[in-house]
Amino acid sequence: MQPTKQSGLALHNEFSADSIEAKDLQHMLHPSTNLKQHGELGPKVHERAEGVYIWDNQGNQYLEGMAGLWCTAIGYGNEELADVAAQQMRKLSYSQLFAGRTNEPSVLLAEKLKSMVPFDAGRVFFGSSGSDANDTQMKLIWYYNNAIGRPQKKKIISRKRGYHGVTVASGSLTGLPAFHNAFDLPIAGVLHTTSPHYYSEGRDGESEAAFVDRVTNDLEQMILHEGPETVAAFIAEPILGAGGVIVPPENYYQKIQAVLEKYDIFFIDDEVICGFGRTGSAFGAETFGIKPTTMSVAKALSSAYLPISAVLIPEFMYEAFAAKSDELGNFGHGFTYSGHPVCAAVALRNLEIMQETNLFEHAKKMGEIFQARLRQFVGQPLVGEVRGAGLIAAVELVKQTQPRVPFQPSDGVGAFCSAACQDAGVILRNLGDSVAFCPPLIISEDQVHEMVDKFAVGLAKTQFWAKQSGFT
């Protein structure tokens, strides 16, 4: 989108030289940002936040409809978590897990996590981000297959439009060109199968059930083409988040899992967004009937009060690691901040608060109200598909709804809509022309209505603008 006042953003020449905005433009390299456009538009400075609301440095209040980056599950400004962090910093601000050392918060957090996940987890490995968790997943599966004597079984299959992070390995697992182009990714040994999005991938006259069969067959053909003895794992987010909040059709996971079982291929369940109540159950695996072999969690694990991630693996993998590391003299994987006691203490209390306040039940109820409200937009101009589960959803904006005719990416319709929503007082995120919603799980019924009402204002402005611009 061109830098205009209509977008609700100031132009860079409006900032005084000593402002944070001007200093940002001088010093920062922003992640996941159109750098040229940022240089023209300048930053939006967030200053404080409380509950589901966030304020910028101009005093404007926004409902945070994206929970930051899908992460601030229990909302902003929780005093108890601030106290837990301060106490832990005073008591033991840092300790390592290397060479058999340990600390109470991370051990108790591992125990708590194992009791919550819907599969038989044996051991927990801690990191700091979703990306490093998925890097760890790849390394652990390679190590495991080396340890049990099948060194050729190493390839990982991900999906187009999947998002698993940005490091060399997790960025390769990600199936979005923007994260590969000019970065020389993906690396060898990572493959991407068909995205399970019926609305954009389904063929003319193809039923949803036939689509699922085709996508399942694509996966099986890929495995057979590569050689099943070379394929170690399949990685999936239950709902594909950053790829556009894609909800796979009914029976998709059941059919995919049958293929994986046939060829002895692990299922890495990436619950970095879906974990901890987001989709109407505690984990996305429960919402969709997935049987994970291993799991990655991050984001809502600490409600983003501090950075922490975890990889959960079954005991049989751990037993193989123990034997192999004895042979090699060391299990050579780990981060300085694996099991950071302050992050672990905050995450543990965050999970306890979620349980004590029945947050997942609340999120499920709010999710039902939210999904029903959002579906009322079906049939409006530009609204191609409304999709989601629980408190995560997207509205896909298209030139023509049935059959789907998308806008040109250069029209910038999704970007216009999210900027218009921001002007209306709600932060949403456009993923291409899909406008995503993912509010903090503590959102109240009134706030759900406020969020959707504000989106309606942004959508109406977008419908008018698209017509005026000759896009429709």
Q: Which CB, 49 or 304, lies closer to ligand PLP?
A: 304
User: How many binding residues for ligand PLP (CB under 6 A)?
Assistant: 16
Q: Give the whole-angstrom CA distance, residue 170 versus residue 187.
A: 10
Segment lying near ligand PLP (by CB under 6 A), choices 40-48, 151-159, 161-169, 400-408: 161-169
| 237 binding ligand PLP? (CB under 6 A) | yes
Q: Cα-atom radius of gyration of the chain, to the nearest Å?
A: 23
Segment lying near ligand PLP (by CB under 6 A), choices 158-166, 251-259, 286-294, 347-355: 158-166
- Taking CB atoms, the residue at the shortest distance from ligand PLP is 130
Q: Give the whole-angstrom CA distance, residue 110 versus residue 265.
A: 26
Residue 427 bridge partners (DSSP): 64
Segment lying near ligand PLP (by CB under 6 A), choices 72-80, 196-204, 259-267, 269-277: 269-277
3-state SS class at 156: strand
Tell me how far, at minimum, the Cβ of 69 lies from ligand PLP, in Å.
Answer: 6
279, amino acid identity: T
| 163 binding ligand PLP? (CB under 6 A) | yes
| 273 binding ligand PLP? (CB under 6 A) | yes
Q: Which CB, 300 or 382, lies closer to ligand PLP?
A: 300
Nearest to 430 by CA among 200, 272, 244, 174: 244
Q: Give the whole-angstrom CA distance, residue 308 versus residue 210.
A: 40
Tell me how far, at minimum, the Cβ of 129 lies from ligand PLP, in Å.
Answer: 4
Which of 131, 216, 401, 422 is in the footprint of ligand PLP by CB under 6 A? 131
| 270 binding ligand PLP? (CB under 6 A) | yes
Q: Which CB, 169 or 219, lies closer to ligand PLP?
A: 169
| 185 binding ligand PLP? (CB under 6 A) | no
| 130 binding ligand PLP? (CB under 6 A) | yes
| 137 binding ligand PLP? (CB under 6 A) | no
Q: Give the whole-angstrom CA distance, residue 418 versus residue 403.
A: 24
| 233 binding ligand PLP? (CB under 6 A) | no
3-state SS class at 286: helix
For helices 104-116 and 341-356, the axis angle rounded to 10 degrees is: 40
Tokens in use for 261?
């079982």
Q: Give the whole-angstrom CA distance, residue 327 versus residue 310.
A: 26
How far are the Cα atoms of 31, 269, 310, 350, 359 from residue 356, in angstroms, in the given order? 36, 26, 22, 10, 8
3-state SS class at 163: coil
| 292 binding ligand PLP? (CB under 6 A) | no
| 135 binding ligand PLP? (CB under 6 A) | no
Q: Which CB, 238 or 412, lies closer to ligand PLP?
A: 238
- Evaluated on CA atoms 148, 134, 242, 309, the torsion sign reads positive
Q: Give the whole-angstrom CA distance, residue 149 versus residue 147.
A: 6
| 165 binding ligand PLP? (CB under 6 A) | yes
| 242 binding ligand PLP? (CB under 6 A) | yes
Segment lying near ligand PLP (by CB under 6 A), choices 76-84, 126-134, 252-260, 449-457: 126-134
Residue 256 near residue 293, CB atoms below 8 Å: no
Q: Which CB, 187 or 405, lies closer to ligand PLP?
A: 187
Which of 164, 349, 364, 429 is in the footprint of ligand PLP by CB under 6 A? 164
β-strand pairing of 392-397 with 231-236: unpaired
Write the DSSP symbol of residue 282.
S
Q: Give the whole-angstrom CA distance, residue 395 versus residue 398.
A: 10
Which of 272, 359, 413, 443 is in the footprint of ligand PLP by CB under 6 A? 272
Segment lying near ligand PLP (by CB under 6 A), choices 235-243, 364-372, 376-384, 425-433: 235-243
| 175 binding ligand PLP? (CB under 6 A) | no
> What ranges make up the beta strands (E) of 30-75?
46-50, 53-56, 61-64
Which of 298, 363, 424, 428 is in the footprint of ligand PLP by CB under 6 A? 298
Which residues lie near ligand PLP (CB under 6 A)?
A: 69-70, 129-131, 134, 163-165, 237, 241-242, 270, 272-273, 298
